[in-house]
Amino acid sequence: YATADLAARSLADHIAALIRSRDAEGRPTVLGLATGSTPVRLYRQLIRLHREEHLSFKNVITFNLDEYYGLSRSHSESYWRFMQEQLFTHIDIRSGNIHLPDGTVSRGEVFSSCRKYEEQIVAAGGLDLQVLGIGRTGHIGFNEPGSTRDSRTRLVTLDQLTRRDAARDFLGEANVPRHAITMGVGTILSAKEIVLLAWGTGKAEVIARAVEDPANDSLPASFLQGHPRIRFLIDESAASLLT
């Protein structure tokens, strides 16, 4: 796409069509959502479609990719709060249909909490569409290098580069949590359709590697190559190193 806004508009239209066709069939739409700066443009477009074109999210169920471990929902940098501010409070989604991994569970409860998250996705009918960003380490969700193709929702340690990239938001690297709970690569690959978004030259190198290197665990986004319905929607700067 010539610009990130055009890409975001195109995906918002696609999601609107998906929701409307599912509504017509009397079935809910299950969306996997991402946080970070990349999907903000998409969320703005979805809010616009809700306001201007009566797109309803009453029958939409959402599952977010990840949450920092140890942050309360009310923390200014929690992904729970991010989603409320960037999308959920602006649309008519039912609060009971919103799911994020619980970053507040004790260590002893992490395993059962992650298993429950996987079970909730299955009980909802599976992810119809998963939206992704990509980190400069090649992470999707918080699946850092070393994550396996069949990994599932779990507690992970954040890469140093990921923590450095988050330092500004947390007013210093020392304040960035060391751990997060993330859907696994296998969880993401179980979605019926996946759309990865990336904007700007800062993502150009990782996009080229994700698309052109053989799939391998040193760059988890490369595992997306094996999915039957994967698209990368990127702007010209993020595409600048593709050969």
Contacts with ligand F6R in 121-160 (CB under 6 A)?
Answer: 133-135, 139-142
* Alpha-helix residue ranges (DSSP H) falling in the chain: 4-25, 40-53, 79-86, 107-123, 160-166, 185-189, 204-212
Comparison of 20 and 179: residue with beta carbon closer to ligand F6R: 179
Tell which residue, 186, 137, 187, 140, has the closest CA to residue 163: 137
Report yes or no: 196 and 224 within 8 Å, Cβ to Cβ.
Answer: yes
Could you say whether residue 65 binds ligand F6R (CB under 6 A)? yes
Binding residue (CB under 6 A) for ligand F6R from 9, 32, 38, 207: 38
Q: Which residue, 133 or 177, is less far from ligand F6R as judged by CB?
A: 133
Single out the residue of 37, 112, 218, 225 in contact with ligand F6R (rule: CB under 6 A): 37
CB contact at 8 A, 123 and 185? no
Residue 205 known to be catalytic: no
According to the binding rule CB under 6 A, does residue 76 interact with ligand F6R?
Answer: no
Is residue 36 near ligand F6R by the rule CB under 6 A? yes
Instruction: Please report, for residues 105, 171, 196, the alpha-carbon distance to residue 13 in angstroms, rounded to integers and kept in the order given.
Output: 37, 36, 15
Q: For binding to ligand F6R (CB under 6 A), which residues are involved?
A: 34-38, 65-66, 133-135, 139-142
Instruction: Report the catalytic residues.
Output: 144
